[in-house]
Structure formats: structure tokens, C-alpha cells
């Protein structure tokens, strides 16, 4: 009776929702609707939800910074699943929509939506379209400047934006028509301050990934090289990191790496951390994760996938702070069915394992996006018990790997957690896309505590 008195109005709302569902059809009320959610990372509870329009289509996911959350993606039209492209920006604390923009110009909407096309730095959003780079006021959506910048060929994936934004400079890789160059721009005006033509050797290409610290700008390249055996023309190739003085853009050093491609570079003090694609073969594999001296290019430490017992590298970006690098490690194989997916934390200084935590024994766990707050590592896991099957957001303590909380999702198919999906975090908020039934959205708009899905233990 006490429960009924305390929750009478919630029960009334639920009864109203049931009545509407009966009148309009349960099928409509139970339709999954794309929703941007924010979780309070201290409690693991909903902070706010923003139901997106019915014509909202594909999206990689949100980015966050400077108290804002930016979500871009496809808009469905009568003849296309991605007939238009749109950016929406929200207040990170309240979830209030601040502005939205559908850029004009010639570009393929899906190409922009499916690739990294935006980065936040202080109060600016730098946004790449097919032929232009824009600087946008993050709070208002007002365009500050734009410059011509040809970026990619259609029907392709670029792996990096080729742009690094800092408070004092904007560094970018310019593809041009026949030659490539590194450029330093004034972030306030977009005016060119420094430029240097770069030469990429024959058979090499770039994934358009650059990184910078206070002194140096780093560019990755990779390519095939002649094979030793007479029956094959190319082997699996090598990669290289070339370092340039960040003020003059004069080359400083080049380091060759046994790798089929570099997918991430992160400067941490005097260390440059690299994530590499490599085969899982103890006889031939190169380093999947390594640290090189950012001043000389010399290797400090390196770890192959077999050394850290990761049969399947997730392919998503690792997370890193000053002391630790965190990543999803899949142990796949006949003898590891009970220990499929782990989060592993390594020391950035030595490569030694700090901790590792098993997340799930589910074999379908792959390519899980992650984000970090000051104290937590946040990602996903899938839990199956008897007839219950849940995908959950999970928070781990960054110092110990201890599971702090789990938040169950309705989106068990993982529509917004696939290959190259992203999530974001800032302060005590975690942001992700989810699919919620319409009836659940209706209830949450009245009271965030009326969330029906409940977690189950792993």
C-alpha cells in the first residue's frame, strides 16, 4: 500500500501509456526510437534523454567537449536512407538542444556521417565537408570561417581526419590535387601560417592520421614492400612514423615499423604511443601496441597480441592517460570460450600489465567503443543468463579495473555499437546513442527514474 501511495502518479502514467498503446496499437508504442542518452557516471543512472526525430538515420555517435555534446548523422528522405546530413549540439548538463545545422554544398551525406568529420577544441567545432573545412562557434552554431580543403574521394573510408586542434594552433594534412602538404593554421582566422610539401614514397599511402605535442608533428604512412619469395610480389608491408618540427615543419626523424597499418597515435609527454594492425602469429607478428621516444623515434617498449594474449584486436581506438593505456582484448578460440572479452590496462612507461578485467564470455562482443572520465573507463558488455539477454553500459575503476556499475540497454542488436562507433564522456556524464521503445521514452520524459530495464549479473 505504501508503494502504491508513493508511486500513484507513475502508475497513472503507466496506465495511460497502456491505454494509448491499446488504442493506437502496441506495435507503434513498442517501436524502437533512436535516443541520445546521458548517464551520471557517479550513480550509473540516467541524467537525461533526448529522443531524436523519426527521420534520424545512421550515426557514428556523439563527441563531447567544453560542456557540449555534438551528434551528427544521416537524415532519411523519401528516396534515401541517408538523403541529408545534420549536426545537432546539446548542453551536456541539461540535454537542451542548442542548435542544429544542415550544411549546404556539394557532398555525399553518408560519406560525411560515416567518417570522422568533426573535432572540438575549446569553444570551436572544426567540421570537415567534402571540399571545405569550417570553424563553428560551439555554443551558437555560427560559422566563424571556412577554407577550401579537398579531403577524400567518394565511396571510400578515411581513417583519420588529418587534423589536430590545439588552443594555439591548428595542424592539418592537405591532400591537394597532385601533392600533399602539412599546414599550420591560425585557429582564430583559418589563415595559413606555415606549410611544407611532404613526399610519400612509392607504394606508400597514409590513413590520414596525424598527432602533435608541443614540439613535434607526427604523420603515419604505410605500404607494401617487395616480398622475399618469388611467387608473391608484395609482403604484408611496413609502416612508418615521420616527425616534423611543429613550428618550421622541417623533418626531424623517420621510424619504420613492422605493421600492416597504424590506426592510432597518441603523444604522452616524451612518448608517442602507437596502435598497429598485425596478424596473430607468434612467428611473424609485429607489435600491436608500442611506445617510441617522441624526440628520437627509438622504441621504448612493444607488445605483440600474443604477448598480451589478445587473439582478436578490437579495432576500436584505445583510451590513454598520462600513466595507462586501456583497450578491449578478445581471447577467441576453442580453449578460451569462458574468457572471451577483457579490458586490459598497460603502463604507458613500460608496457607492463597494470590490471585486466573480464567483461563477458559472449562470443559476439566485438568493436566496443569506450570513453573515460577522470576516474572511470566506460564501455559495453553483453550478458546472457537463461532467457535473459542484455547489452549493458559498464563503468570500471581506472586504477583497479573493478566493476562499479552496469546500466542495461534496450538496443540488444547493437545498432549503435558496431564497427567504428563512438561514445563520449565529459566530467560526470557519459553519452551514447540507444534505441528505446516509444512507451519507455514517454515515461522517461515525465520521470527519469521510471526506467523499466533492469541489469542482470554476468
What pTM, to 2 d.p., does this model score? Answer: 0.89
Residue bearing the bigger pLDDT, 14 or 109 = 109
Task: Determine the pLDDT at residue 133.
Answer: 95
Q: Is the pLDDT of residue 449 over 60?
A: yes
Instruction: Choose among 384, 386, 389: nearest CA to 410.
Output: 389
Q: Is the pLDDT of residue 306 over 90?
A: no
- pLDDT range class, residue 151, cuts 50, 70, 90: confident
- Quote the DSSP letter at residue 116: -
Rounded CA gap, 110 and 115, in Å?
A: 8
- pLDDT range class, residue 85, cuts 50, 70, 90: very high
Check: CB of residue 425 under 8 Å from CB of residue 409: no
Check: CB of residue 73 under 8 Å from CB of residue 110: no
Task: Determine the pLDDT at residue 208.
Answer: 84
- 165: CB partners within 8 A, 6+ apart: 119, 120, 121, 124, 126, 187
Cα-only R_g, the chain: 23
Task: For the chain, give the percent of residues with pLDDT over 90.
Answer: 53
What are the grid coordinates assigned to 332, written together?
577467441
State in Å, rounded, how far the first CA of the chain is from the last one: 34
187 falls within a domain: yes
Check: CB of residue 244 under 8 Å from CB of residue 196: yes
Q: Could you report the per-residue pLDDT of 108-133, keeping only the tens digit for each? A: 999 899 888 999 999 999 999 988 99
Domain, as residue range, for 146: 31-446
Q: Is the pLDDT of residue 287 over 80?
A: no
- pLDDT range class, residue 20, cuts 50, 70, 90: low
- pLDDT range class, residue 3, cuts 50, 70, 90: very low
Instruction: Choose among 422, 394, 382: nearest CA to 118.
Output: 422
Please state, in angstroms and as integers, the Cα–Cα distance from residue 118 to each residue in 61, 68, 148, 316, following that order: 12, 13, 16, 18
Q: What is the mean pLDDT of residues 190-210?
A: 85
393 falls within a domain: yes
422 falls within a domain: yes
What are the grid coordinates assigned to 156, written together?
571510400
Q: What is the mean pLDDT of residues 67-76?
A: 97
Task: Determine the pLDDT at residue 161.
Answer: 87
13 falls within a domain: no
Check: CB of residue 191 under 8 Å from CB of residue 295: no
294 falls within a domain: yes
Check: CB of residue 187 under 8 Å from CB of residue 145: no
Q: What is the mean pLDDT of residues 256-265?
A: 86
Rounded CA gap, 199 and 209, in Å?
A: 16
Q: What is the SS3 assignment for 80-95?
A: CCCCEEEEEEEECCCC
Residue matched to cell numbers 514517454: 442
Q: What is the SS3 assignment for 364-404?
A: CCCCCCCEECCCEEEEEEEEEECCEEEEEEEEEECCCCCEE
Pairing of strands 132-137, 143-148: antiparallel
Rounded CA gap, 341 and 361, in Å?
A: 6
Q: What is the mean pLDDT of residues 46-69?
A: 96
- pLDDT range class, residue 389, cuts 50, 70, 90: confident
When mean pLDDT is compared across 19-28, 86-95, 409-418, the lowest value belongs to 19-28
Using CA atoms of 194, 263, 416, 38 in order, give the dihedral in degrees to the nearest 10. Answer: -60
Task: Determine the pLDDT at residue 268.
Answer: 95
- Quote the DSSP letter at residue 187: T
Give the number of domains in the chain: 1
12 falls within a domain: no
- pLDDT range class, residue 456, cuts 50, 70, 90: low
Angle in degrees, CA 328, 329, 331, rounded to 5: 150
What are the grid coordinates assigned to 103, written together?
550544411
Domain containing residue 242: CATH number? 2.130.10.10
When mean pLDDT is compared across 11-20, 64-73, 216-225, 388-397, the lowest value belongs to 11-20
310 falls within a domain: yes
Task: Determine the pLDDT at residue 338.
Answer: 45
15 falls within a domain: no
Q: Could you report the per-residue pLDDT of 319-330, keeping only the tens digit for each? A: 999 999 999 887
Rounded CA gap, 315 and 318, in Å?
A: 9
Rounded CA gap, 458 and 111, in Å?
A: 38
- In the predicted model, what is the mean pLDDT of the chain? 84
Amino acid at each position: 500500500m505504501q508503494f502504491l501511495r508513493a508511486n500513484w502518479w507513475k502508475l497513472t502514467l503507466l496506465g495511460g501509456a497502456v491505454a494509448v498503446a491499446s488504442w493506437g496499437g502496441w506495435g507503434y508504442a513498442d517501436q524502437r526510437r533512436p535516443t541520445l542518452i546521458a548517464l551520471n557516471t557517479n550513480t550509473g543512472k540516467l541524467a537525461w534523454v533526448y529522443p531524436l526525430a523519426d527521420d534520424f538515420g545512421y550515426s557514428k555517435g556523439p563527441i563531447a567537449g567544453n560542456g557540449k555534446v555534438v551528434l551528427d548523422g544521416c537524415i532519411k528522405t523519401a528516396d534515401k536512407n541517408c538523403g541529408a546530413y545534420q549536426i545537432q549540439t546539446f548542453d551536456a548538463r541539461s540535454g537542451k538542444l542548442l542548435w542544429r545545422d544542415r550544411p549546404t554544398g556539394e557532398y555525399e551525406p553518408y560519406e560525411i556521417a560515416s567518417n570522422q568529420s568533426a573535432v572540438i577544441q575549446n569553444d570551436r567545432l572544426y567540421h570537415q565537408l567534402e571540399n571545405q573545412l569550417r570553424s563553428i562557434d560551439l555554443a551558437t552554431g555560427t560559422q566563424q570561417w571556412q577554407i577550401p580543403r579537398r579531403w577524400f574521394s567518394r565511396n571510400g573510408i578515411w581513417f583519420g581526419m588529418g587534423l589536430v586542434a590545439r588552443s594555439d594552433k591548428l595542424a592539418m594534412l592537405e591532400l591537394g590535387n597532385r601533392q600533399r602538404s602539412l599546414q599550420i593554421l591560425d585557429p582564430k582566422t583559418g589563415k595559413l601560417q606555415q606549410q611544407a610539401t611532404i613526399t610519400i614514397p612509392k607504394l606508400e599511402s597514409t590513413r590520414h592520421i596525424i598527432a602533435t605535442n608541443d614540439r613535434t608533428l607526427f604523420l603515419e604512412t604505410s605500404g607494401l614492400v617487395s616480398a622475399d619469395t618469388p611467387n608473391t610480389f608484395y609482403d604484408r608491408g611496413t609502416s612508418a612514423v615521420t616527425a616534423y618540427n611543429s613550428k618550421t615543419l622541417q623533418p626531424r626523424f623517420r621510424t619504420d615499423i613492422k605493421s600492416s597499418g597504424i590506426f592510432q597515435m597518441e603523444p604522452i609527454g616524451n612518448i608517442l604511443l602507437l596502435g598497429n594492425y598485425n596478424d596473430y602469429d607468434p612467428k611473424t607478428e609485429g607489435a600491436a601496441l608500442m611506445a617510441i621516444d617522441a624526440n628520437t623515434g627509438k622504441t621504448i617498449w612493444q607488445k605483440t597480441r600474443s604477448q598480451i594474449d589478445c587473439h582478436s584486436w578490437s579495432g576500436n581506438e584505445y583510451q590513454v592517460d598520462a600513466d595507462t593505456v586501456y583497450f578491449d582484448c578478445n581471447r577467441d578460440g576453442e580453449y578460451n570460450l569462458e574468457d572471451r572479452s577483457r579490458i586490459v590496462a598497460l603502463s604507458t612507461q613500460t608496457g607492463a600489465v597494470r590490471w585486466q578485467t573480464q567483461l563477458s564470455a559472449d562470443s559476439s562482443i566485438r568493436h566496443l567503443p569506450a570513453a573515460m572520465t577522470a576516474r572511470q573507463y566506460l564501455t559495453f558488455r553483453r550478458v546472457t543468463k537463461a532467457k535473459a539477454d542484455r547489452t549493458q553500459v559498464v563503468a570500471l575503476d581506472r586504477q583497479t579495473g573493478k566493476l562499479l556499475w552496469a546500466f542495461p540497454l534496450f538496443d540488444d542488436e547493437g545498432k549503435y555499437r558496431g564497427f567504428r562507433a563512438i561514445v563520449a564522456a565529459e566530467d560526470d556524464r557519459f553519452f551514447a546513442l540507444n534505441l528505446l521503445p516509444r512507451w519507455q521514452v514517454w515515461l522517461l520524459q515525465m520521470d527519469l527514474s521510471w526506467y523499466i530495464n533492469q541489469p542482470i549479473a554476468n
